[in-house]
Structure formats: structure tokens, C-alpha cells
Amino acid sequence: MTTQGWDRCARIVYLVGLVCLLAPGVARAQSSLVLGIEGNHFTVNGTARFLVFASYFDALDVRDTDVEADLTYLQQHGVDGIRIFPDWRTQDSRTGVPAAHCAGDTVIDPGGALQEGPFNNMIYVLNKAREHGMLVDISLSSELVSSNPSCPSTLSLQELTTGVRRLTDRLKGDGYRHVMFDLQNEVDDHSDILLEGGYGMTMTDIATLIDANVHAIDSDRIVFASLTASSGDANTAQGASDVRQAVTAQHGMVIAYHDPRNTSWASATATVVDRLSDGRPIYLQEPAKVEDFNLGVWDGATAVRNAKQHGAAAWTFHTTAGFYMNDHGIAWHLQNDSDNPRYQTERDFLAALPGTLAGTVWGAIPSS
């Protein structure tokens, strides 16, 4: 090759490299934030950490500037990640009345197609979370969450499967290793009403979704389906055994459990974690909200302290502020919504959370 030819090749290589460096999306975000599993704990970029998530269900409805404010606010208060619902409906924050249209923010629509508008809204949230060093739990559901009776209420198993495959394929790049999938929220609690035709989704169905769909496309994705006391009350030995067996049957990588919401839930967290423990990460994904009890009964500090002390991998701050965000983001509601007295309890919890976590020794012993 002539000297001129070599110069031309060098210029091409330089320009290609420059394009890759400046290109948005996956190329720039490669391996910047990786959620992993090692034994009974999650890892972040290879380091074992006890994680706290916050319910951010209505994430696809949040305005751009509010996403930044929300992630900053939550991170400053000790929160490591957010749990979002791509099937959530647009609702008024005060009345809970859904918008007139059915499509709303739903990423997977009837038929199993991905709606590009809601999907792009979700990608914006995922990208912003990565920039903030925050993790994301995408919780799917074959029921399209809405109180509007004119909206289709469920997907068929095939529609859900088609949507899961498409979503997995779109997120399999290196830029989205900070994301895990809950393929069916509370699969055991609602299985008799979730799917069209009255067919109840089984753990075998979830195993097929995981093995033949998610992991066939993206073998490294952390994936599971969340369970409730319908599988077993994990405060009892037999109930915890039943929950573990259900996770094994579904081929889930994580024990994602929703505690029974009774007055002893916070103190019972210690027993629940102890009895569920079997070497897999225990993710207390949806504990009680303040509004589940009288305002004085909710004790998030005791719950998260027990979760960490007894070796859980993660715990969720289940705030109602994350349910209705089509007018304002979670930070605005928690800081400014004086009409909702429950937020004072939640503000106090968040203000104390960094100290609560720092003063609690993690019961999980990372592998050497």
C-alpha cells in the first residue's frame, strides 16, 4: 500500500473512533454501571452492597426536569435504585382517576407490541438513572394497571411473552446492565385473574419466560417474578419453604418477596429474612406503605434495619408518592404536598435513612 493509502486508512480509523466516542447511548455507556449477583447479595460494579430501592411506579409519566430532581433527591437520602412499572396508567395524583385514553404509558400494549413513545420515555429514565449511578427494577405485569373499566385489563400469556422478548432484545446492550426484570408482579397473588381467558399464570410459565425468552436473548439479565404470602407467609418456617420452592420452580435468580402488611410487619422482617435465606439474594421488594396503617404504626426504620442486619440483599421504600406523578415528581410531592399528611412520616424516614444504614452492620458476608 502506498504512503497515501496508509494515510487515508489512518484518517478513517481516527474518524471511526471519534464517532464511537461521541455517539450517544450504548457506546458511551458501556459497562458504566453493572448490577450483579454473588451468592446471597447484589453487587454493583463487582462490589457487594446492601441496596435500597424506592417505588417509582409512575416513572414514565414524570417530566424530564423532575426525573433529575427525583433521582438527586432519592440518592441524597440513601436510595440506590428505583422500581418502575411500564404498565402503569396515567392517573390524576389527587383523585386517582385515569386519563380517558387506555394506552397511557404502557410500554407493552395488547398484542405484545412495544409502544415507541412510552418505551422512549422509559429509556430516558433508565439512562438518567445510570448517569446518577442508580439501579432500576422494571416490574412487568400482564394486567395493565388501571381502574378504567373501558381499558383492556389483561394480556394473554402469548402477548406478554412477545412483549418480554421484544423488551429484552431492546435492552440487551451494555448500557442497560444496571436493570433487572420482575417478569410478573405478584404472580401468585393475582394468577387467577391476570391472563385473558381466565388462565392463571404458573411458575412453569415464568420458567419458560426466563429460560426460553429472556435468557435465550440476554443470558446475563437478572430476572425473577415476585411473590407474596399467597405462596407462603415467610414469617413461618413452612411458608418460607413454600416461597423458596416457588422461586426454584420459576427459575428465578432472586427471592423477591412482598411482606404481609400487618401491624407487626417491621419487626417480623428479621424472621422473614432468616427463614427465606437459602443462598440466593432476598429482595424485600414491596413492604408496607404508610397508608396501609394509621400514620403512627408504620416503622420503616425498624424494617430496613432488620433487613440489613439479617442479610437481605435489598429493601424497598414503598412510597405512595411514586404512584401518581403525572403532575409532579416524587421529590416535589414529598417536599411540598402539605395536603397529604402521610408524606411527613415518609420525609422523616428519608431524612434519617442515611444514618440508619450507616449505623447498621450488614448481615451478608461477601465471598472472598
Domain count of the fold of the chain:
2
Residue 288 lies in a domain: yes
Judge if 101 and 173 occupy the same domain: yes
Q: Nine-digit cell at 169?
A: 432484545
Handedness of CA 147, 151, 157, 163 (dihedral sign): negative
| Co-location of 20 and 167 in the same domain | no
Q: Are residues 12 and 122 in the same domain?
A: no
**What is the residue-wise DSSP string for 163-199?**
HHHHHHHHT-SGGGTTEEEESSTTTTTSTTTSSGGGP
Are residue 116 and residue 241 in the same domain, yes or no? yes
Q: Is residue 365 part of a domain?
A: no
Each residue's pLDDT, cut to its tens digit, for the chain (368 residues) gives 544 454 544 444 344 344 333 333 333 344 589 999 999 999 999 999 999 999 999 898 888 889 999 999 999 999 999 999 987 755 444 445 554 455 456 898 878 889 888 899 999 999 999 999 999 999 998 876 554 555 556 778 888 999 999 999 999 989 999 999 999 999 987 655 555 555 678 999 999 999 999 999 999 999 999 999 999 999 999 999 999 999 999 999 999 999 988 888 999 999 999 999 999 999 999 999 988 876 567 899 999 999 999 999 999 999 988 887 878 899 998 888 766 777 888 999 999 999 999 999 999 755 43
Q: Is residue 367 part of a domain?
A: no
Q: 180 and 150, same structural domain?
A: yes
Cell of 75: 440518592
* pLDDT tens readout for residues 213-269: 999 999 999 999 999 999 999 999 999 999 999 999 999 999 999 998 888 899 999
Question: Which three three-digit cell numbers place residue 118?
Answer: 412510552
Ramachandran angles phi, psi of 53, nearest 5°: -105, 165
Q: Do 260 and 292 form a contact (C-beta atoms < 8 A)?
A: no
> CA nearest 127: which of 77, 75, 205, 68?
68
Do 205 and 287 lie in one domain? The reply is yes
Radius of gyration of the chain (CA): 21
Q: Alpha carbon 105 to chain centroid distance?
A: 16
* 70 inside domain: yes
Domain of 2, in residue numbers:
1-30
Q: What's 104's DSSP letter?
A: T
Long-range contacts from 167-172, C-beta under 8 angstroms, 24+ separation: 167/86, 167/107, 167/108, 167/114, 167/138, 167/140, 168/213, 168/214, 168/217, 168/218, 168/221, 169/217, 169/218, 170/114, 170/119, 171/126, 171/218, 171/221, 172/217, 172/218, 172/221
Nearest-angstrom CA–CA distance, 240 and 236: 6
Whether the CB-CB separation of 184 and 143 falls below 8 Å is answered with no
Q: Which residue has the cell 439474594?
A: 281
**Structural element, H or E, at residue 35:** strand 35-38
Q: Are residues 129 and 24 in the same domain?
A: no
Q: Are residues 61 and 23 in the same domain?
A: no
CA distance linking residue 110 with residue 2, whole number of Å = 60
Residues 202 and 277 grouped into a single domain: yes
Residue 221, all three cell numbers: 439479565
CATH of the domain at 166: 3.20.20.80
Is residue 169 located within the same domain as residue 243? yes
363 lies in some domain: no
Q: What is the pLDDT of residues 317-332, one digit of tens each?
A: 999 888 878 788 999 9
* Domain contains 292: yes
Q: Is 266 exposed, middle or buried (0-12, 13-18, 19+ CB in 10 A)?
A: buried
Q: Which parts of the chain fold into alpha helices (H)? A: 3-22, 26-29, 64-76, 116-131, 157-170, 203-208, 215-217, 237-250, 265-276, 300-309, 330-336, 342-358
Show the CA angle centred on residue 195, arms to residues 192 and 199, nearest 5°. 55
Answer yes or no: do 7 and 54 share one domain: no
Residue 109 and residue 26 share a domain: no
